[in-house]
Amino acid sequence: MPRMSESRENTIVTAARLLQRQGYAATGLTQILEESGAPKGSFYFHFPGGKEQLGAEAVALAGSEMNAIIGAVLARHADPAKAVVALGKTWSSWLAGSDYTEGCPITTVALEQSSQSSILRQACAVVFGSWHRQLRDHFVAAGHAPVRAGALARLVLCSFEGAFVIARSERSTASFSETARLLAEVVAVGV
């Protein structure tokens, strides 16, 4: 990662937080700049690609932060079943702790923009891919065959993505707890 000015970094961090809560279209450049305290005049110097570039960098940042968190949880639970339950608990307590305002940091952007901006769509796809790879590698390390591990990782990823959506809508963590319990059965190693 290249060294970057504080203004530039602040802008990306603020953008990531706002995109998570409001999505891309509903988040104005003005709001991002105001909340980040970054000056308006140099925005297009830092981000020649405009709002779209900022969005893509914010998605990448949020994706790598989440990657770190997934990695930390997996590191504490070699057993896939326990790891899956731990992930569910981590995310559901986040969600409830933010009064259901902070779900998956990139899903909203992914959905809104996958038909409108290929830059943002690809940025999201890269992030999803990195999360998937991490889960798959963990399952392989735990003894699953590579192909099955890939499918299991995908199921886990999809389920939790969906759980975020429904949990926010229902304002309830039931989706996470029920989903995690069943996922634990599926990803268990051996018979």
Size of the site for its own copies (CB under 8 A): 49
CA-based nearest residue to 103, from 27, 165, 28, 24: 165
Indicate the SS3 state at residue 116.
Answer: coil
Residue 101 contact partner, candidates its own copies, DNA, none, CB within 5 to 8 A by sort of partner? its own copies
Q: Of 45-64, which residues contact DNA (CB under 7 A)? A: 45-46, 50-52
- Does position 38 bind DNA by CB under 7 A? yes
From candidates 1, 41, 185, 191, binder to DNA by CB under 7 A: 41
Question: What does the per-residue mask of binding to its own copies show for 89-128, with x meaning CB under 8 A?
Answer: -----------xx-x---xx-xxx-xxx----x--xx--x
- Residues 90/163, Cβ–Cβ less than 8 Å: no
Token representation of residue 140: 């392989």
Angle between the N-to-C axes of helices 146-170 and 118-141, in degrees from 0 to 180, rounded to the nearest 10: 120
Q: Is position 171 an interface residue for DNA (rule: CB under 7 A)? A: no
Q: Which stretch binds its own copies (CB under 8 A): 1-9, 22-30, 60-68, 74-82?
A: 22-30
The footprint of its own copies on residues 158-187 (CB under 8 A) is 158-163, 165-166, 168-171, 174-175, 178-179, 181-183, 185-186
Question: With binding defined as CB under 7 A, does residue 40 bind DNA?
Answer: yes
What are the start-end ranges of the H helices in 6-117? 6-22, 29-36, 43-46, 50-76, 80-97, 107-113
Instruction: Burial-class residue 134 by CB neighbours within 10 Å (0-12, 13-18, 19+).
Output: middle
Q: Which residues bind DNA (CB under 7 A)?
A: 4-8, 27-31, 38-46, 50-52
